[in-house]
Amino acid sequence: MTDAIASNVVPLSWEGDRATGRLLMLDQRLLPTEEVWLKMHSAEDVARGIREMVIRGAPAIGIAAAFGMAMGMRAFEGPLHERPSEFGRLHTLLASTRPTAVNLFWALERCARVAERLRDADNASLTDALFDEADQIFQDDRDNNLRLGNYGAALFEGPTRILTHCNTGALATGGYGTALGVIRALHASGKLNHVFIDETRPYLQGARLTAWECVKEGIDATLITDSMAAHFMKLGQVDAVILGTDRIARNGDVANKIGTYGLAVLCKHHNIPFYVATPLSTIDLNTANGDDIEIEQRDPTEVTHIGGRQMAPEGVGVAHPAFDVTPAELVTAIITEAGVVYPPYTDTLPTLF
């Protein structure tokens, strides 16, 4: 197995010391034409950055939320008996930003366990421990993605043509990627022939972000519109589809960026493997199936406008579910940092833990 090569792209970083420092977020709304870093000084800033998609991608959202919680408690100056109430307020603030991404709640739960363990400690000790936890979540995600990439690359023998959707790379994680991490590992091992990138309407994460990462890293890629995927599959130019996820239910149902379900159906028709790459933190064994996953509904203007320009007439109805759910029976395998599992997922997913 060839070791994956780390990416130089990161979606966030820390600037300064813990007492007065701030979280820097690469504003992904402006990519690929501008690289602008925004300074987040508080939990409120982080919550706004997550909600407004300055940062996006389930793992990266979880990392950002952990730093947001640490900064939020850093600012607390009240008596010890009022601290649980403030912690609860911050938890609610951050948890309400993106309801579908389970990593957000997983990271906040890790912070909550720290707060419970240090419930009688002074606030400086708690704040320092929360920063330690955020740092650990950040580093763990990067390390886990490297392992995941190697497991995914091992599934393929020779030059492979991959189609991917949305952005699952360094920008969506701690700095390497899930599905795009597998693609990076294939590229590093000489087993990647080509990548097709869905533009991923309506927010164009594929066109703006995944294409940008591939260009930066010298990965041979072709950008296509979402509606072209079936055409290239029919021509026999796609060997596998690999994408990420924002939540996997206990039965293996996959919630991911809108358009994922359609790709899975196309793969079934064309007999193409459909792989989902995910860290363990995105697997939600407490959710029985996809019917129980809340689907975020976003601003209609993200559909009617592109780059600030109105593309649809006033008065037309607009639907904008940010995610769809792919049934487990359409998923060939799930790739994680602990290995690759196959159906039946109700039996195999718990073994990863």
Single out the residue of 150, 243, 166, 156 nearest to residue 193, CA to CA: 156
Quick one: how far is CA 188 from the chain centroid? 22
C-alpha 79/C-alpha 59 separation (Å) is: 33
Q: Which of 246, 253, 292, 299 is catalytic?
A: 246
- The response to whether 98 counts as a known ligand-binding position is yes
C-alpha 311/C-alpha 323 separation (Å) is: 22
For residue 344, say if its preceding peptide bond is cis, omega within 30 degrees of 0.
yes
C-alpha 200/C-alpha 55 separation (Å) is: 17
Residue 280 carries which DSSP code? G
- The response to whether 247 counts as a known ligand-binding position is no
| Alpha helices (runs of H) in the chain, residue ranges in sequence order | 43-51, 58-74, 83-95, 102-117, 123-153, 179-188, 205, 211-217, 229-234, 260-270, 301-304, 345-348
- The response to whether 256 counts as a known ligand-binding position is yes
Measured CA to CA in angstroms, residue 225 lies from 119, 136, 201, 206, 320 at distances of 52, 38, 8, 9, 18
- The response to whether 136 counts as a known ligand-binding position is no
Single out the residue of 175, 177, 142, 141 nearest to residue 162, CA to CA: 177
Q: What's the N-to-C CA distance of the chain in angstroms?
A: 23
Residue 158 carries which DSSP code? S
The answer for residues whose C-beta is within 8 angstroms of residue 302's C-beta and 6 or more apart is: 202, 203, 320
- The response to whether 58 counts as a known ligand-binding position is yes
Q: Is 130 helix (H, G, I), strand (E, B) or coil?
A: helix
- The response to whether 39 counts as a known ligand-binding position is no
Annotation says 246 is catalytic: yes
Q: Are 9 and 174 in contact (CB under 8 A)?
A: no
Q: Phi and psi at residue 94, in whole multiples of 5°?
A: -75, -35
- The response to whether 78 counts as a known ligand-binding position is no
C-alpha 97/C-alpha 61 separation (Å) is: 10
Show binding-site residues for substrate. 56-58, 98, 205, 256-257
Active site residues: 246
Show binding-site residues. 56-58, 98, 205, 256-257
